[in-house]
Amino acid sequence: MKVIYQHLPPVEIAGRKLVGNVLFGLLILLSAVVGSAAGLLLVYSTDLPQVEQLEHYRPSSVTELYDVQGRVIGTFALQRRVIASYDDYPQVLRDALVSIEDKDFYRHSGINLWRIVGAAYRDIESGGKVQGASTLTMQLARNLFLSPDRSFYRKVQEALLAIQIERRFTKPQIFTLYANQIFLGHGAYGYEAASEYYFGKPAKQLKLEEAALLAGLPKAPQYYSPINHPDRAIKRRNLVINSMLEDGKVTAAQAAEAKAKPILLNLQKDPNTLAPYYVEEIRRYLEAKYGSDQVHEGGLRVYTSLDMDLQKAARQALLEGLAAYERRHGWHGKLANVAALGQKVDKYDDPDWDDDPEVNGYVHALVTEVSANAAQIRLGSRTATLAPSDAGWTKRKLPNILTVGDIVYVKVLALEPGGKAHVSLEQDSGAEGSIVAIDNATGEIRAMVGGRDFNLSKFNRATQSLRQVGSSFKPYVYTAVIDQGGSPDETILDAPVTFQTASGSYSPHNYDQKFEGTITLRRALAQSRNIPALKLADRVGIRTVIDYAHRFGVTANLPPYLPVALGSAEITLLEQASAFSVFPNDGVRIAPRYITKVTDYEGRVMEEDFPDIKDVVSARTARIMTSMLREVVLHGTAVAAAKMPFPLAGKTGTTNDFTDAWFIGFSPTLTCGVWLGYDEKKSLGERESGGHAALPIWMQFMNVALAGKDPGEFQPPPPAPPTSIAQKVDTPDVAPGDGETH
């Protein structure tokens, strides 16, 4: 086509040619830009995650353990997260988050071009990398699919993913995904978990100032931590409130009122600290059965047999009992010092300080200053002053026993304003203990304490420690006798005796080095006489006694030596306590249980544990033995418990050189076992018998456990049959060994 300009002036013709050339150039440039953009989009979209995955996406969530009343006693998680729905997040939280993070969230399609251009301009001007300007959707895309690096490449991918997410999901769905995914500091992921951690309540109950504080955390959770940096947290919170005011989400009066309020946190302690030994037993079981990933990321719901109230009572009773033992034996000293550990006093941090101390709790503290009449100590964020009266039991002056940098053991008597505490000086010489309580009717473990301090030792002395059980083994001897026709009113001679065995002569003695002559079997057990127990074991045969112990649930290897009848055998506390529950159960053994049910994240039952029930002895035998063990409490070695207003029975146990102290006892509804000793099997000290060291702990626990409840009644035993096993004599099949002294 030919254009004719013959009627136009030369200047106008030149101008039109110039405009045409410019337009043509712009078209070429636009084509190049579009082509380049398309090429870049193709390149950057290569290997992008499939957004379709989000339709089935479920973030890793917390596996929770519940006690018998539905209270959380423990959690397993790589990320502390509680999944919530859109409606679980209150409007005030939604408004706060949108106002500070993405004002146009409900209007844009995944990206905000103006914010991107502005942020890019600022970054180019400052010479930095592309950052900022991310919408909530872009942040979600980055958290779910991309790396956190701040590069142009990642930013483009983030935008592309955000657009895809917006095309497939509604705004409430996107908000919910984001609110469940985002990290908010101190191990909390998602606003529901953060609300529970920081304020001790669900997100639905958040107030304006609380919602604003949480909404300000995504920018820099550690920097704005209300725990570590409350001043920064307040400034950030108020900035969020101002943004809400600008957006018309709150009134000026509401904003002013909220900004004037201080940060009031109600930090939730790690629930695993209540029953750490018990929770650890469950963790090992679950991981062995379901795998670590499922346990720590799958959001299982584990319904346990523990009773939180009984667990607290058991822990307190054990700690009080250990403290009483320590005070009986005076101050030993030998305190660890941070300087000797190569640390500085002002930098020291103790594992006990992870949580704020509790009143009546026992924790380790650091001595920071010592004067003639006082010592200043630090326990986490709190401080305390030790006066001479707080260490009076040591019968020593504070400057003579404490130096700066010493790590001391204290009991928290009161928590006072201003970060102060009132404490008493205690001692941790290394003595340990454990306690187990079992529901007789179900076999469910209601309480378990495996040691003094889980932070110092993960070894569970209730389930892993094999210790000589002392005279608490004797009930198996008497059970064998009664079950084979014996009577508690039969008599036996408590007098010196020598047993001839394949290994030579064995001449045992009684705990008090005395002999009572002819006594009934009932009295022999109540007073824990050694000679009668050995004679009876010899008559029925030690192998028969061992067979009865195994019937009761004892799995330990018991050598067929006569001293086993006195408790030289090593058994765990859990097995011994479970075995004793047979007596109030009319001879029926119900295997101890930790878990009643496990469900998956969707609520489907993965396992349900039903009682494992076996007949051990006849109801007649069990009732007679219960009446005999009741005599131990009423008139025997556990007579201190006779004053308790409940029907109780049990047996003390003490080993040679007082290395182990036991009491295993029961009511008609609950069986509890207590053990005290040192891990290295050294002596607890002269006269530290089961009745002196272990029984008071058992009594303190049972007084709490049975208070206000119907304890039930023991069923009376039937009349004794006319025949007796007391006349039966068996050939000894034994060898000597270390016996029990009580």
Secondary-structure percent of the chain, ordered helix, strand, coil, rounded to 5: 45, 15, 40
- The CA distance from 81 to 45, in Å, is 31
* Cβ density class 685-721: b for 16+ within 10 Å, e for less: eeebbbbbbbbbbbbbbbebbbeeeebbebeebeebe
* Cβ density class 346-385: b for 16+ within 10 Å, e for less: eebebebbeeebeeebbbbbbbbebeeeebebbbbebbbb
Which residue blocks in 493-556 are alpha helix, DSSP H? 521-526, 530-540, 542-551
The catalytic position among 195, 471, 472, 568 is: 471
Q: Which residues are CB-neighbours of 112 under 8 A, at least 6 positions away?
A: 102, 104, 133, 135
Contact criterion met (CB below 8 Å) for 384 and 377 = yes
* Distance in Å from the first CA to the final CA of the chain: 123
Specify the pairing of strand 588-590 against strand 570-571.
unpaired
Instruction: Please say if 125 is a catalytic residue.
Output: no
DSSP per residue over 297-357, as a string? Answer: HB--EEEES--HHHHHHHHHHHHHHHHHHHHHT-------BTTTTT--GGG---GGGGS--
Closest CA to 715 of 588, 590, 611, 529: 588
Contact criterion met (CB below 8 Å) for 387 and 374 = yes
- The H or E element spanning position 575 is helix 573-580
Closest CA to 411 of 423, 429, 428: 423
Helices 619-635, 474-483: inter-axial angle, 10-degree rounding: 140
Tokens, residue 384? 């305390």
Contact criterion met (CB below 8 Å) for 562 and 506 = yes
Chain center to CA of 282: 10
Neighbours of 88 (CB within 10 A): 18
- The H or E element spanning position 199 is helix 191-199
Closest CA to 421 of 346, 338, 360, 371: 360
Tokens, residue 640? 């201190």
- The CA distance from 108 to 106, in Å, is 6
Contact criterion met (CB below 8 Å) for 209 and 241 = yes
DSSP per residue over 242-304, as a string? Answer: HHHHHTTSS-HHHHHHHHHSPP---PPPPGGGTSHHHHHHHHHHHHHHH-HHHHHHB--EEEE
Instruction: Please say if 471 is a catalytic residue.
Output: yes
- The CA distance from 338 to 345, in Å, is 7
Alpha-carbon distances, residue 571 vs 164, 286, 352, 469, 659 (angstroms): 63, 25, 31, 7, 14
- The CA distance from 488 to 635, in Å, is 15
Q: Which residues are CB-neighbours of 54 under 8 A, at least 6 positions away?
A: 144, 165, 168, 169, 177
In the DSSP assignment, the letter for residue 727 is: G
Closest CA to 506 of 168, 693, 736: 736
The catalytic position among 101, 281, 297, 631 is: 101
- Half-sphere exposure in the Cβ direction for 149 (13 Å, CA): 7
Active-site positions read: 101, 471
